Amino acid sequence: MESLCCLRGVSMLLLLQTAAAMVMSPNSTGWQQILDKYLDEDGDWWEAKQRGKRAITDSDAQLILDLHNKLRGQVYPPASNMEYMVWDTELERTAEEWAETCLWEHGPAGLLPQIGQNLGAHWGRYRPPTFHVQAWYDEVKDYSFPYPQECNPYCPFRCSGPVCTHYTQLVWATSSRIGCAINLCYNMNVWGQIWAKAVYLVCNYSPKGNWWGHAPYKHGTPCSACPPSYGGGCKDNLCYKGISYPPKEETEENNFIEQEAPHTPSKFVHVFSCANPQKNLYVCVSAQLVICDTKLRDQCKGTPCNRYECPAGCLDATGKVVGTVYYEMQSSVCRAGLHAGVIDNDGGWMDVTRQGRKDFFIKSNKNGVQSLGKYQSANSFTVSRVAVKAITCETTVAQLCPYQKPAKHCPRLYCPRSCIEEKAHISRVIGTGIYSDKSSICWAAVHAGVIRNDVGGYIDVMPVDKRKLYIASYQNGISSESGSDRDKKEVKSYALRI
């Protein structure tokens, strides 16, 4: 992100006791029925606060999250890169800490450069927290979306009312994580008025939005410009890390990952398998998208089980970790990555290497994760960071990470755009779906439909067993060659899955 001033301004909402009823969209009957149950001061939220537990109930958190995603999916003009929001317990914690100060201002100052923040408060008759979320979105009436032709070099800020930065933060496409908290503040000073009993809502967002000179999202066909990490998933007009089309069937490898029931429905997806990409997809990634508590077990075999993408917030998960450096196979994959320092609580990519049986596993407390000890022989694995490397159009796997035993992890690769127009006389593609390591990686990715020639993008290269025959075909503007077992022996090649 460029060093641009963030739109802070007066990002607050003042709702007086005599405020009119909330303005809702024409199709809001269902939502109003859901919200009505919160008008009772003996409800879940008040009981939870009296018990001194979380600063927000699960039901309130889910309603806030669902309403954010509903509103983000219905923006006009439509967004091509709007990301599905998930709940982040670390953001919830920081929101709780600030809500407890009962200060009617943004803060804390040290955290604001890293997060976005919306505030809301009311007193008198109880209103659900989604009241404020809808009011933030309703600022759209004062906002005019800047189209690309207007953004030269930067987009104009089009706010005709006193404030619309609640709305722009709520619909900021890349702000994909949210955490909120509610606090009951006594004698709260709100713009010079003392409110005897104010209900204070703080919502923190990450990555932050509201950057000067940028539109909150890209205009276009929904999900046509999603980031590569979403792998083509689309749900309710939002880029979604889920299965949006049938995964490719594994015929030669057992690609099983134990799927446990998630603690909170719909927050994370268990497994995402790479498949034939949809139209306008930037990249399809051959790696496993897992939840925080997914275990690595012996049933998961083959190269598709070598690279994982973990969600944010795994420090607060309950999955056990057994061992230090070498982890027992029943360990949570993502929490082992946290323990080893390979990923942080924001999640991310990591590689797994199976290490065979170990006689014992040592317990330790590292990076906020307590691992267990085990003095019994069991299969083990280690974790490592995923390297990222930009390559040229003609780079081959044989040049980049030649075959060796045991097979090592290839870096995550970035292909430039317009490879088909460059060096066609030296770039070869051998095979279909599975390619010889003599093939141009980027050309093979375009041939497979994993990236588009005019866009380029990130890809993962996975070694698989040698093939006796590579099949020729014409796909996506590229003709691939066939290859025989004799060719393969001459160059000691191995097959390549992209």
pLDDT digits (tens, 9 = 90+) for 205-219: 999 999 888 899 998
User: Residue 358: which residues within 8 A CB-CB, separation 6 or more?
Assistant: 323, 326, 328, 377, 378, 379, 380
CATH 2.170.130.20 domain extents, the chain: 287-385, 388-497
Q: Quick one: CATH architecture of 53-239?
A: 3-Layer(aba) Sandwich (3.40)
Euclidean distance between CA atoms 379 and 359, whole angstroms: 9
pLDDT digits (tens, 9 = 90+) for 214-262: 899 998 889 988 988 888 889 999 999 863 332 333 333 333 333 333 3
Q: How far is CA 386 from CA 286, 351, 392, in A?
A: 13, 6, 19
- According to DSSP, the β-strands at 388-390 and 412-415 are parallel
Looking at mean pLDDT, say which of 23-37, 264-278, 325-339 comes out highest: 325-339
- pLDDT, residue 298, reads 52
pLDDT digits (tens, 9 = 90+) for 476-496: 888 888 876 454 443 334 445
CATH class of the domain defined by 388-497: mainly beta
Helix (H, G, I), strand (E, B) or coil at 240: coil
Which numeric CATH code is attached to 287-385? 2.170.130.20
Average pLDDT of every residue of the chain: 75
Euclidean distance between CA atoms 80 and 73, whole angstroms: 10
Point out the least confidently predicted range of 90-99, 202-211, 393-402: 393-402
Q: pLDDT band for 265, please (50, 70, 90 cuts).
A: very low
Q: Which amino acid is at 53?
A: K
Kindly state the average pLDDT of the residues 400-424. 74
Helical ranges in 403-452 per DSSP H:
441-448
- pLDDT, residue 408, reads 67
- pLDDT, residue 356, reads 87
- pLDDT, residue 490, reads 38
- pLDDT, residue 13, reads 36
Kindly state the average pLDDT of the residues 187-191. 89
Q: pLDDT band for 302, please (50, 70, 90 cuts).
A: low
- pLDDT, residue 466, reads 65
Instruction: Find out whether the peptide bond into 148 is cis, omega within 30 degrees of 0.
Output: no
Q: pTM to 2 decimals?
A: 0.44
- pLDDT, residue 304, reads 56
- pLDDT, residue 267, reads 23
Q: CB–CB of 308/334 below 8 Å?
A: yes
- pLDDT, residue 472, reads 87
- pLDDT, residue 480, reads 87
- According to DSSP, the β-strands at 177-190 and 86-87 are parallel
Q: pLDDT band for 78, please (50, 70, 90 cuts).
A: very high
pLDDT at 389 over 60: yes
Q: pLDDT band for 344, please (50, 70, 90 cuts).
A: confident
Question: How is residue 77 annotated by DSSP?
Answer: S
Kindly state the average pLDDT of the residues 170-174. 95
Q: Which residues of 391-415 are buried (b: 16+ CB within 10 A; e: fewer)?
A: bebbbbbbeebebeeeeebbbbbbb
pLDDT at 12 over 80: no
- pLDDT, residue 61, reads 93
- pLDDT, residue 243, reads 39
CA 127, 128, 133, 137 dihedral sign is negative
Kindly state the average pLDDT of the residues 281-309. 63
Kindly state the average pLDDT of the residues 168-182. 95
Q: CB–CB of 245/223 below 8 Å?
A: no
pLDDT at 162 over 80: no
pLDDT at 77 over 70: yes
In degrees rounded to 5, what are phi and psi of residue 95? -65, -40
CATH 3.40.33.10 domain extents, the chain: 53-239
Q: Which residue has the tokens 């065979």?
A: 356
Q: pLDDT band for 116, please (50, 70, 90 cuts).
A: very high
Instruction: Find out whether the peptide bond into 153 is cis, omega within 30 degrees of 0.
Output: yes
For a pLDDT cut of 70, what percent of the chain falls above it? 71
Helix (H, G, I), strand (E, B) or coil at 428: coil
